[in-house]
Structure 1
Amino acid sequence: QVGLTTKAYKMPNQLSGGEQQRVAIARALLNDPALLLADEPTGNLDPETSEGILLLLRSLADKGKSIIMATHNYTIVNRFPARTFRFHAGEVHELEGGIPADLANFLV
């Protein structure tokens, strides 16, 4: 599911940072958890691989899994809308309807 079948017999030090990250995601999915905590799951991935991982997480959510994902990438927030919270200055704010205008400056 994470595109690493050709790397099955490699040691961790033989994998790139992005490959190691995908291994961590695959290991997290092995036990079929009801809740998946993902801290910057696409942080070390190229755009194409990131898209695949995000589609995988979306499909898991569509099947009833709960996904809590932390990201600094507001493009992801817009492309994969879900219930979204922003943590800032010790406060938690739920974002209604996508990214508010004051956060638009942070889009890359």
Structure 2
Amino acid sequence: MLISKDQFLKFKSKFNLEDVLNTVVVLVILSIIFCAVLALKRPIESQKYHKVMLLTEQYTYPATQKMANHLILQDDIVTSDYFRLMWAHRTESSKVKEYPAMAQDDAEQAN
């Protein structure tokens, strides 16, 4: 079946250049989102696993420690869970106020 020149021109006239460019932009955005989702589903590297292990042993931030202990029990820790743990650690560390210990001389002067 041969396509005549008139049929081809009629088919071509249905598409604007703007529609084609919009389609290309949408495809690029969807491919970036797809690659990002794949990257978040990959298992973490050994350095990051070591950092999770260190967070299970610390006692300063109990909620972060609990979350890290939960992640260690899994077979593979995916990158999205690691980022969630780091976010929890950051928010918990920003909420905790640590005051320096008073020296003995300062304590005696206060009394």
Higher CA-based Rg: 2
TM-score by length of 1: 0.24
TM-score by length of 2: 0.24
Structure richer in strand, relative to its length = 1
Structure richer in helix, relative to its length = 2
